[in-house]
């Protein structure tokens, strides 16, 4: 009996030792990254409206408008850029009257974000867009409705 007890004990030790030898571990690293992004809010349109330009009282006309955007928390805002528009002529942006074909040059003077911090999509910020039409650029133009389309871009 003593001998069988010793054999049983030896087998138990071997079995336990064999199980201990089979145990191993692995370190799992879990990670993700949050993409730094900026997006314009819907609707993704705004209008820089110079209104009625009266050649009899020709003055330079500067106007501004706003649009909304948001950026991921911690992202540095901008830069904001404006495209050349549909009627760009190698040196300047132009609004065009489709009836006469006349164009009126204009400038986009600034794209200025507010001073608020970026905190993510739940908190919108404001971008102010300013532009100018010079009096000398519209005094000899045909009566009509002038327009252009420009793409604004935000890069975080």
**CA–CA separation, 2 and 156 (whole Å):** 80
What are the pLDDT tens digits along the chain (156 aa)? 566 656 566 666 656 555 557 899 999 999 999 999 999 999 999 999 999 999 999 999 999 999 999 999 999 887 999 999 999 999 999 999 999 999 999 999 999 999 999 999 999 999 999 999 999 999 999 999 999 999 999 988
73 inside domain: yes
Give the domain CATH number at 98: 2.60.40
Cα 5 → chain centroid: 77
What pLDDT sits at residue 77? 83
22 inside domain: no
Please classify residue 127 by burial: count the beta carbons closer than 10 Å to its beta carbon, then call 0-12 exposed, 13-18 middle and 19+ buried: buried
β-pair partners for 128: 66, 112
What pLDDT sits at residue 17? 57
The four Cα atoms 133, 139, 143, 144 give a dihedral, to 10 degrees, of: -10
Q: Which of 34, 120, 35, 131 is nearest to 69 (CA)?
A: 120
Range of the domain at 77: 38-154
136 inside domain: yes
What pLDDT sits at residue 155? 87
1 inside domain: no
Q: At CA 46, angle to CA 114 and CA 75, rounded to 5?
A: 35
What pLDDT sits at residue 76? 87
Q: How does DSSP classify residue 55?
A: G
14 inside domain: no
What pLDDT sits at residue 22? 84
User: Looking at the 3D structure of the chain, how many domains does it have?
Assistant: 1
32 inside domain: no
Q: What is the pTM assigned to this prediction?
A: 0.80
User: Three-class SS of residue 14?
Assistant: helix
123 inside domain: yes
76 inside domain: yes
Q: Which of 128, 26, 30, 39 is nearest to 75 (CA)?
A: 39
């Amino acid at each position: 009996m003593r001998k069988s007890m010793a054999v049983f004990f030896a087998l138990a030790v071997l079995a336990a030792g064999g199980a201990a030898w089979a145990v191993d571990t692995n370190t799992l690293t879990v990670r993700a990254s949050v993409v730094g992004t900026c997006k314009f809010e819907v609707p993704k349109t705004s209008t820089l409206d110079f209104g009625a330009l009266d050649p009899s009282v020709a003055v330079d006309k500067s106007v501004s408008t706003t649009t909304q955007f948001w950026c991921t928390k911690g992202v540095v805002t901008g830069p904001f850029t404006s495209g050349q528009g549909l009627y760009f002529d190698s040196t300047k942006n132009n609004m065009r009257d489709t009836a006469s074909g006349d164009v009126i040059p204009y400038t986009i003077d600034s794209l200025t974000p507010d001073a608020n911090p970026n905190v993510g999509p739940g908190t919108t910020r404001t971008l102010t867009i300013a532009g100018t039409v010079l009096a000398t650029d519209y005094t000899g133009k045909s009566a009509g409705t002038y327009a252009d389309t420009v793409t604004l871009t935000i890069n975080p």
